[in-house]
Amino acid sequence: MWKGELEAIYISSKKGDEMQALQQVRAVPGKGLMGDRYYQRAELQPNDHSPENEVTLIEVETYDALQRDYSLSLDPGTSRRNLVTHGAPLNHLVGRDFKVGEIKLFGLELCEPCTHLAKLSGRREILPALVHRGGLRAQILTEGIIQIGDEIREINPSPPD
Parse the chain into domains and list their residue ranges: 4-15+17-154
Distance from chain centroid for Cα 20: 14
Decide if 103 contacts 140 (C-beta within 8 A).
Answer: yes
CATH topology of domain 4-15+17-154: M1 Pyruvate Kinase; Domain 3 (2.40.33)
Q: What is the residue-level pLDDT of the chain in tens, covering all 161 positions?
A: 789 999 999 999 988 788 999 999 999 999 999 999 989 887 777 777 788 889 999 999 988 888 888 887 777 777 789 999 999 999 999 999 999 999 999 999 998 876 666 565 566 666 777 778 889 999 999 999 999 999 999 998 766 65
Query: What is the C-alpha to C-alpha distance for residues 65 and 57, in angstroms, rounded to an integer?
Result: 16
Q: What does the pLDDT read at residue 32?
A: 95
Query: What is the C-alpha to C-alpha distance for residues 39 and 148, in angstroms, rounded to an integer?
Result: 20
**Using only C-alpha atoms, what is the Rg of the chain?**
15
Per DSSP, what are the bridge partners of residue 104?
99
